């Protein structure tokens, strides 16, 4: 397995409120772990929320007595939500903070994914790119109910408004996905700084291009910046069945 993780401030923001983590070594009962978080909140609260959420999830997974990956991730993300919500309630400067969160682990030939918010996970298989996660955003929920087209959603001015976040409320609703892997997949985790700037067809082209996981990740960030880089950009490219291990 090899992967590359990268986060970039983009061209319009002065602060990076995204955070990223990846490990191909075991973390507690999980054989590997990949995390992307995109914080929200005024001043430094968004940066703190995303960084702290990743720290809390890592700590919880490391100490977990469980063996079932979905429950290990559920407990870890719920714990992070409880801690962030408590801090936001007690500290005025952190009021309203929260973060998107997408987590993935590969166990044998199964990809297990947890998601809150609009950061995404894609799988490229047999030349086809498939978005696995569902965006928890106002606009995407309108698309799912049929009241807005996907094309309208892509250009909608309120597409950044999310309906779920870790730390935003006292309870967190987490989506879980289980994907069978067949041996030639490339997995992409990203914040909306990529997916809102670069269309899926272009993401697919860049993942299919020759090169290493690092080259693919850097080309995705470069493409988002070339489109204007209006937000922070975070990318993890994972090649689960590659024999070379190469991290950021």
Read off the pLDDT of residues 173-217 as tens digits, 9 standing for 90 and up.
999 999 999 999 999 999 999 999 999 999 999 999 999 999 999
% of the chain at pLDDT higher than 90:
84
CA-to-CA dists, residue 135 to 31, 138, 166, angstroms: 26, 9, 14
Read off the pLDDT of residues 34-90 as tens digits, 9 standing for 90 and up.
999 999 986 679 999 999 999 999 999 999 999 999 999 999 999 999 999 999 999
* CB contact set of 215 (below 8 Å; sequence gap of 6+): 209
Q: Is the pLDDT of residue 244 over 60?
A: no
Helices (H), the chain: 45-63, 69-90, 138-144, 150-154, 192-195, 200-208, 213-226
Q: What is the pLDDT of residue 159?
A: 58
% of the chain at pLDDT higher than 70:
88
Q: What is the pLDDT of residue 248?
A: 40
Q: Answer for the pair 56, 78: CB distance below 8 angstroms, yes or no.
A: no
Read off the pLDDT of residues 120-163 as tens digits, 9 standing for 90 and up.
999 999 999 999 999 987 666 666 666 656 655 555 555 567 89
In terms of C-beta density within 10 A (0-12 exposed, 13-18 middle, 19 or more buried), how is residue 49 classed? buried
Average pLDDT, the chain: 92
What is d(CA 93, CA 163) in angstroms, rounded to the nearest whole number?
Answer: 22
The upper half-sphere exposure of residue 77, i.e. CA atoms within 13 Å in the direction of its Cβ, equals 32
């Amino acid at each position: 397995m090899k992967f590359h993780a990268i986060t970039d401030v983009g061209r319009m923001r002065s602060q990076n409120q995204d955070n990223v983590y990846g490990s191909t070594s075991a973390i507690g009962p999980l054989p590997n772990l990949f995390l992307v978080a995109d914080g929200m909140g005024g001043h430094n609260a968004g940066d703190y929320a995303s960084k702290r959420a990743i720290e809390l999830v890592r700590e919880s997974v490391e100490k977990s007595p469980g063996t079932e990956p979905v429950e290990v991730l559920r407990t870890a993300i719920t714990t992070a939500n409880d801690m962030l919500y408590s801090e936001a309630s007690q500290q005025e400067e952190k009021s309203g903070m929260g973060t998107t969160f997408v987590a993935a682990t590969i166990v044998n030939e199964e990809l297990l994914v947890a998601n809150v918010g609009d950061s995404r996970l894609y799988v490229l298989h047999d030349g086809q790119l498939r978005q696995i996660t569902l965006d928890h955003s106002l606009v995407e929920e309108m698309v799912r109910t049929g009241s807005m087209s996907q094309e309208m959603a892509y250009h909608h001015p309120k597409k950044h408004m999310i309906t779920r976040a870790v730390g935003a409320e006292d309870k967190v609703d987490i989506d879980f996905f289980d994907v069978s892997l067949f041996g030639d997949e490339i997995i992409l985790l990203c914040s909306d700084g990529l997916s809102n700037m670069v269309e899926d067809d272009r993401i697919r082209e860049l993942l299919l291009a020759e090169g290493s996981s690092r080259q693919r990740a850097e080309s995705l960030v470069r493409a988002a910046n070339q489109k204007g880089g209006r937000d922070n950009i975070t990318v993890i490219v994972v090649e689960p069945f590659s024999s070379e291990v190469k991290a950021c």
